[in-house]
Amino acid sequence: MKKFRWQIIAVLLVVALVGLLAGGCGGGSSSGGKDTVKVGIILPLTGSEAMFGEMEKNSFELAYEELKAAGKTTVGGKEIKLMYEDDQGKQDVAKSATEKLVNQDKVNMLSGGYSSACTNVIAGSAQTLNTPFLVVTGSSDDITKKGWQYVFRGSAAPASKYTISFWDMLEKVVKPQSVAIIYENTDFGTSGAKGFREECNKRGIKIAFDQAYEHGAIDFKPMLANMRSTNPDMIFATSYVMDASMIVKQMKELDFNTKLFVGNGAGYTMPEFYENAGAATDYVASTALWVPNVTWPGAADYFNKYKQKYGKEPDYHGAQAYATMYIIADALGRAKDMTNTGIQQALKQTDMMTIMGPIKFEDWDGYTNQDRPNTYVVQWQKGKLEVIWPEDVKSASYVYPAPKWSER
């Protein structure tokens, strides 16, 4: 009977483990009842995007605690409850998570959405299920371009609009003759590159090189060597963080000089970018939606609080989640009733100040329920991220053209 006993022990162990895990992650998914307003939040809590999912979840919690202390988490006698689901960074999982939250958990509204691909799926399902969905990060243009009334995007700009102040700077300072465009071959990457490409064509700037790459590559040198042979004045890259640092590190290794390297937000503004690529980050510029030293009320406060509580520096992804929590609480507080239309209307009438700047959901330029973004240009200077454009909010002057590798 030895074997039989083993099996019992194994089964007990598994049960104990599952119990532990469920207890750990669920965080009280039991109660429910009718005296809560449920907000379903879908984020990549595992998988290769988990780092961002974690940061956004932490920021939601941080904001929630602050709101709770201010008594704003109870609306009309009902408490707001956050229910997290993991999309693993995969579209199919995102879809089933959305359907589970709406059909089984009967949430009143949805939020979250990190990668554009997943956000797109969640938005589509939310619209079909008539459930309001407030996007946190997913920035692909088409998410708010389909006329979906239940989909709102406040803290995130459409990927092609990340570059508004950057174009201003290009016109006044850089004036490039030819540019190279590289981007990761995902919704986010193609969407960012497309916006930039169209703008280049409109302004008659020559595109010398234009290529996508596969996320997570170890060796970017073939592409970089190819790009060097076209000798562009400026490089515009849309990447997530680790690809970003691999690219600039390998540019340094190749001794590939360019007057200005500009990242399209995302990876190029994160603390990990500098940690990983070190001195290779110097003079890399980037478009940005948020930096801790931006002038909006509460921004620096959030940065410090987060760093103190979680022992890590947050970046704009965390700020988006933090601001989103405030928008949710504000909208639920104003909603006439907790039905889908009630919340949808309350969201539509939002007009508030957050750490991401003023938020207002408007229909413009083909977008529906899209906030008009505030954008900046930042540049890494000796390991510090400085705001260099617009000039009236700058924290340091720009360095252009960037010195050659051999002259640094």
Which residues are near another protein by CB under 8 A?
46-48, 50-51, 53-54, 185, 211-214, 216-223, 225-226, 229, 241-242, 245-246, 249-250, 252-255, 272, 275-276, 278, 280, 312
Give the nearer residue to another protein in terms of CB position, either 220 or 290: 220
CA distances from 323 to 63, 276, 328, 366, 367 (A): 8, 28, 9, 24, 21
User: Peptide bond before 390: cis, by omega within 30 degrees of 0?
Assistant: yes
Nearest of 172, 189, 154 to residue 372 by alpha carbon = 154
Give the nearer residue to another protein in terms of CB position, either 127 or 230: 230
Task: Measure the CA–CA gap between 281 and 297, rounded to whole angstroms.
Answer: 29
Region of residue 217 (left: phi > 0; alpha: psi -120 to 50; beta: else): beta
Give the nearer residue to another protein in terms of CB position, either 234 or 244: 244
CB of 371 to another protein, least distance (A): 28
Q: Is the dihedral of CA 240, 158, 84, 311 positive or negative?
A: positive
State the CB neighbour count (10 A cutoff) for residue 50: 17
Spell 328-367 as b/e; 16+ CB within 10 A means b: bbbbbebbeebebebbbbbbbebeeebbbbebebeeeeeb
Give the nearer residue to another protein in terms of CB position, either 167 or 310: 310
CB of 397 to another protein, least distance (A): 28
Give the nearer residue to another protein in terms of CB position, either 48 or 178: 48
Please enumerate in sequence order all residues whose Cβ is within 8 A of that of 75, keeping only pairs 6 or more positions apart, or say none: 37, 329, 332, 333, 335, 338
Give the nearer residue to another protein in terms of CB position, either 88 or 160: 88
CB of 86 to another protein, least distance (A): 12
Task: Measure the CA–CA gap between 123 and 127, rounded to whole angstroms.
Answer: 6
Give the nearer residue to another protein in terms of CB position, either 254 or 338: 254
Which residue type sits at 40?
G
Helix, strand or coil for residue 85?
Answer: strand
CB of 134 to another protein, least distance (A): 24
Task: Measure the CA–CA gap between 66 and 277, rounded to whole angstroms.
Answer: 35
CB of 283 to another protein, least distance (A): 16
CB of 221 to another protein, least distance (A): 5
CB of 185 to another protein, least distance (A): 4
Strand residue runs (E) in 156-281: 178-184, 206-213, 234-238, 260-263
Residue at token pair 């939310």:
126
CB of 249 to another protein, least distance (A): 6
Give the nearer residue to another protein in terms of CB position, either 168 or 210: 210
Helix, strand or coil for residue 406?
Answer: helix
CB of 213 to another protein, least distance (A): 4
In angstroms, the first-to-last Cα distance of the chain is 73
Cβ proximity of 288 and 265 under 8 Å: yes
Task: Measure the CA–CA gap between 48 and 186, rounded to whole angstroms.
Answer: 14
State the CB neighbour count (10 A cutoff) for residue 46: 14
Nearest of 287, 283, 282 to residue 267 by alpha carbon = 287
CB of 69 to another protein, least distance (A): 27
Give the nearer residue to another protein in terms of CB position, either 10 or 353: 10
Give the nearer residue to another protein in terms of CB position, either 313 or 391: 313
CB of 13 to another protein, least distance (A): 12
Give the nearer residue to another protein in terms of CB position, either 38 or 57: 57
